[in-house]
Chains A and B, each alone.
Chain A
């Protein structure tokens, strides 16, 4: 094949393609819209997976709730269940709302206002989740300990290694929460820029 042949093949390709005007308005707009939704696909996947784990643990706690034989363990059990069910549901609902913003049909101003409001709600939920996560250790640990090994941690004195494990868990949680929260900030910031670019 010579260079001239390359040129002629390319010209023929161009002519062919110019006759194939097959993209419709709907497809073009769908492509734009889909791109916006993709920004949240990864985060939704992780959240859904996290929620499934939370629901499974909640189900396990409900099945074994009878083992919590004192009023304070039962209070811990209820708090654990609330933490495992309510927060993931709220996060998933908010993510769904953000994903479904109609960036092409709604007015720019309304979309942006709605988006910012929902974004702030999502970040607030993350902050609440992080805060409860720390406090949560104090009511989740007694519940799991009682259910799994039938030990009431309120009545048992902890060994040094258990304190160390507890401290390491707390430190690991600080890093994990910081990483997860920064991830959220990044995604919401880029999506916000996207909406601002639209007008």
Chain B
């Protein structure tokens, strides 16, 4: 199979992952679209450097999160990104108002977190273990545990305030 085919299949298979990463680091659709494109580009750029010593998703999380961090530092919209909003960047296809409301609240709570905290809670929400989070972020597992319990407290405080 050609490199392009393998790559596009990989992106298609894990587009939800990319969507979720880009959604927590951006605040509007345009930025998300732009970041999404940047992440895909970075994944393509470093596709050959992926060695099978870690899971492909671990590598994808790492690249996507690193790209997001540099993106929010620059935070400059490029004018001519490929228009993907209509085909993908939708949170839900359902008409479930309660679900939409819960999602809105979820993102609202995530907004109170800083960049590192967002990354850690994102991985936790993704169901990753502390060891996996440590592997992706480069922190030690114990440090991950400490930080996550602090983030949980912070979230809880914010939730009770509202």
Contacts and interface: CB of A to CB of B under 8 A. Distances in A.
Interface string A88-115: 0000000000000000100000000000
A18 interface: yes
A6 B12 contact: no
A2 interface: yes
B53 interface: no
Interface residues of B, number: 45
Contacts of A63: none
Tell me whether chain B's interface is mostly helix, strand or loop, or mixed. Answer: helix
Interface in B77-95: 78-82, 84, 87-88, 90-94
Contacts of B36: 31
B159 A2 contact: yes
A131 B37 CA distance: 40
A148 interface: no
Interface string A64-105: 000000000000000000000000000000000000000010
A187 interface: no
B19 A28 contact: no
A23 B15 contact: yes
B45 A1 contact: no
A9 interface: yes
Interface in B6-61: 7-8, 11-12, 15-16, 19-20, 36-38, 40-41, 44-46, 48
B152 A3 contact: yes
Given A23-B11, A24-B87, A197-B46, 11 more contacts: A1-B105, A13-B91, A21-B15, A23-B12, A27-B84, A28-B8, A30-B82, A35-B41, A37-B80, A41-B78, A41-B79
Interface of A: 1-3, 5-10, 12-14, 16-25, 27-32, 34-35, 37-38, 41, 104, 194, 197-199
